[in-house]
Structure 1
Amino acid sequence: MFINTKKNQSAGTKNWQQAKDYCQWLGNLTTLPFDLPTEAQWEYTARNRGEKRYYATNNGYLQYRNGQYFNPNTGYYIDYTDDEINAGTGLEDSLGKWPANPLGIYGMSNNIREWINDWYSPTYYQESPELNPQGPKTGEAKVMRDGMGAMTIDRVPNKIEEDRYYASYSFRCSLQQKTLATIVNP
């Protein structure tokens, strides 16, 4: 049994079912409809309500300790100070250490892959509905999402029966609504 003794780090998990069971347990405990997020929910959150963001950080860029990031919109490297660092390169750089994204969600670019409720299909988004896609009905692997891909936000398949612990696998629970939320402009 793994016990995480470090504060402010994401909880590791062995497999998708453990993550799913925990979210449903939390829902039963609180009487709120918690579950793993759908891929569309994760993406919407990582991209700050669907904006075109390259990374799920406070400003859409990864700002490591090296002091520069490449802005693909301008084609130039941008300098920044140590106070503006918002990402790390290792598992020690974990949840809560860097600023939250604009929605106030921490750790979506922290080298941790997160289990998602959806089944994986490499061609799903070629035929999916445009609004609130729920993923394929069946499959052999579940989606894992990660905001630390080589170029942008990653989407990878993973077998649900995997029963080996990886420190870089985790999950977050999402409060589910039966109806779409209405956005009211002030």
Structure 2
Amino acid sequence: MSCCQPQRTPSGETAASESEEVAAGSRRVAHDEVALPGGEFLMGDAFGEGYGPDGEGPVHAVVLAPFRIDATTVTNDMFAAFAAATGYRTEAERFGTSAVFHLAVAADPRDVLGRAPSAPWWLEVRGADWAHPGGPGSDLAGLGDHPVVHVSHNDALAYCRWAGRRLPTEAEFEYASRGGHAGLRYPWGDELTPGGEHRANIWNGTFPARNTLADGYLTTCPVRGFPPNDLGLYETSGNVWEWCADWFSPTYYRASPKHDPQGPEHGTARVTRGGSYLCHESYCNRYRVAARTANTPDSSTGNCGFRTVAL
């Protein structure tokens, strides 16, 4: 839906069916949860900084029931436990390719199959998947506590069924990201780097050619790489985009229900939230708490993961 996340090019192949075979079961890995009381909050962009096609307004009151949400995104170690227990193969593995940022590619040039037309910094790499985030020449050594990436919305749902959990709604994600505060631009306040301190893993430098690594990372960081917000959630801004349960519509806020909104009944793309290590004010100022975008459910990239909510 945006230059932040390239869509998978339809190929006529259907990979989603395998995810339906993963049965719900008892939780197999520990999820560090934060219990949130719910209640009323104001959802949407109060600063007028959003992108028109994203539909970040109008600001509207939402009331949520209490819920329990992961303090962090699902990690590579957690997803590896799921894959080992079930034999599940992600859509990137079945399609044979996924999208990798050009400075993170670890593959033979013959495995680089093309560039995203609207975002040429994204390369389609053969053999890129959750266990090989840069391509066939990469692995997960030292990345066990980093967020799993190259997972589609369908893959995230498959994990949730196995773990006996679900994805957060978009409203739940924004409520949790706001950290119990009203009207903030970021989870920690209105300044991006208060006192010069980096609070999120985003792009620093000139996008997309030069990253100064001022925050310490070119791609993902550990899921507790930066301080949590005041509700105890980590990296709800930056690091990786996170799949939400909702279908996406840029006009949904105009008529969404006040109590526990679930998103439109139908759609072609699912909401992603939080921004990623590639977000930069020059082209993708979507690490704000009100920011939203979306992607097709079978798409996977090197900068998108997910966290879960208890049933």
Fold conserved (TM > 0.5)?
A: yes
**Is the partner of 1:144 in helix, strand or coil?**
strand
Secondary structure of 2:292's counterpart equals strand
Aligned partner of 1:181 in structure 2 is none
Which residue of 1 is the match for residue 259 of structure 2? 131
Residue 98 of structure 1 deviates from its aligned partner by 0.6
1:43 corresponds in structure 2 to 174
Rg larger for:
2
- Aligned pair 1:12/2:149, yes or no? yes
Counterpart pick for 1:53 among 175, 184, 207: 184
Secondary structure in structure 1 of the residue aligned to 2:162: helix
Check if 1:175 corresponds to 2:310: yes
Q: TM-score, normalised by structure 1?
A: 0.71
SS of aligned partner of 2:200: coil
Uncovered stretches (5+) of structure 1, i.e. residues with no partner = 28-33, 64-68, 70-79, 177-186
Counterpart of 1:41 in 2: which secondary structure? helix
**What corresponds to 1:110 in structure 2?**
238
Alpha-carbon spacing, 1:13–1:174, altered in 2? closer, same or farther (3 Å): farther
Q: Which amino acid aligns with 1:22?
A: Y
Alpha-carbon displacement from aligned partner over 1:4-39 (angstroms, at most 9, x marks no partner): 331331111331010011012111xxxxxx100000
Q: Deviations over 1:69-121 (max 9, x none)?
A: 5xxxxxxxxxx15xx43223342444211100111011111231111100001
Q: 2:50 maps to what in 1?
A: none
Aligned length: 150
**TM-superposition CA deviations, 1:141-176 (whole Å, max 9, x none):** 1111124551623211211122xx422010001114
Change (3 A) 1:36 1:59: same
Indicate yes or no: 2:192 matched with 1:62.
yes
RMSD: 2.1
Query: Do residues 98 (structure 1) and 226 (structure 2) align?
Result: yes
In 2, the alpha carbon distance for the partners of 1:86 and 1:98 equals: 6
Distance 1:60 1:95, change over 3 A: farther
The answer as to 2:153 corresponding to 1:23 is no
Could you tell me how far apart the structure 2 residues matched to 1:136 and 1:116 are? Answer: 13
Structure 2, unaligned stretches of length 5 or more?
A: 1-128, 132-139, 203-217
Counterpart of 1:66?
none
Contact 1:144 1:158 in 2 (8 A): yes
Partner of 2:14: none
In 1, the alpha carbon distance for the partners of 2:200 and 2:256 equals 32
